[in-house]
Structure 1
Amino acid sequence: MKKTAYQKELVIKATQKRRGTDNNKKDVMKIQSWLTLFSIPNPSSGTATEIDGDFGPATERAVKNLQSFHNLATTGIVDQGLFDKLCVGLKEAFEKPLLGNNLRDLMVEVAENHLRQHPFELNIRGQSNSGPWVRSYMDGHDGSPWFWCMGFAQAILDQAASALGKNFKTLMPLTYSCDTVGNTGLEKNLLSRYQKIRRDPSVIKKGDIFLIQKSRLDWTHTGIITSIDGDVIETIEGNTNHQGSRNGVAVMKRTRSFRRSKIDVFSIEPLV
């Protein structure tokens, strides 16, 4: 795999605790981030806390609440073993053994594996598009300017292609830009425009990458096509929300009408 930044999100340098002599601000922020992320699918867990790098009484209480949730001794101390429980979803998303034997099936399988782990961005020090999931998709980058929908799409492509011993960069460059992928698709004759798709929906195939067109050479959002049903595609996409925003907060499964939206499609066929 080319996108391996996620591995840094799975470890802390030392055990962290209140008034700990080995406390590390970056590690504490990682812990606080994962505690807060844990609270999203578990809103009654009491683990949401400020992400400021200070292992104070609030963070200690959040850790104890996490330990209680898992029926562990409530020490308020985070060693690597407890941290593993916090970030297990990220490890599962990127490292779960895959079952598919062709790229299109693998694209859907990998995207669904990520979706099940509730990838979500955080707002850290006033910066949206932040946190361990975003950094994992964006090769270590995060913060408000780092829209991460293409980072997510390429992470899925990278993981699926790597399972077959293939390099996704033979299909497109590593990029965070929908425009770069759109223009690459035009240059390689791999991008089907929405007008063609509306005339002949059979050109859409599961595992392909959709691009929402704003103008002829400007695309604003992307994701993975998981199925086609009539005039509708089902997708899994990052940096979106329930309204389908291009700057949302999560990975979500959505339905989109390709007859009502200007949806272009980048074919992954050369890697299949």
Structure 2
Amino acid sequence: MLLEATDSTILNSGNFTKSITSITSVLEFWEDSVNADENQSLLQIPITRTGSPLDRVGATLVVAGDSTADVIAEIPVIFEPFETFKEFTVSIVDNDTPDGPRPVTLTLADPSGGASIGQRNELIINIQDDEPAPVPPPPPEPTPTPIPELPALNLPSTSQVSLTIEPEAVEEDSGNSLVYTLTRTPDSLGVPLAVDFSVGGTAILGEDYTVSGAVRFDGDRGTAIFDQNATTTQFLITPIANDIFQLDRTIEVVLDDSGFLYIAEIGGNTATGTIIDDDPPPSPLYMTSATVVL
């Protein structure tokens, strides 16, 4: 039996920043066990990565025979940054020997790069022999064993993402925040999702307001992250109080039309918040008359 990495899924590196490096990468198999016929030739084994996609992480894929002590091979599994899905091809050797069903155990071990191993750390391949078992005469006809079909992989599909704001305006010295909420449809719930947006308006980051909750926000561009199985995510814009009389200022956020596993909702991709100045205007200056003696 041979294993070979044949496919992978890589997230767009622009969708993430170092703000989520505290989230651990979790590596695990897609399922617990599969059945394969000896003459099936090839079998696809998926390995997934959830949690933080930022770092280069890995583990060791240990292949064992009938006993877990009978190690056939140890294969390194490496996920590059933003790579979330790898698929290994198992080549099954068809022989002419009636040797019965043979289990092969695949185990994920020795995580590296700060990763951890998930609950599905072991996968058993049940290889069904396709040669009839030898029997002494008079031999009874063996009853054929049906081979179950492998379950289909339910990979995530594209979600539609919308943007709302509540409240739409706050006073500068109130201590309240503008709350921007992104909502996605359930299509991609099985994986974390990064949504990029542009930032406009008249307010200036660091001078008029601060931001919390967004993984990236530089005053012109930003990124918000949906956790796995989460349908909403938020970030907050909080005004910076001062004693200077100013005009009201705005922060306009516009979602990118599309990205990895999402498209923005038409007509629901923009939200604008307003910082209301609550400082009194300065007192007018009065010029008194003066006498000049030459």
TM-score by length of 1: 0.21
Decide which structure has greater strand share: 2
**Which of the two has higher C-alpha Rg?**
2
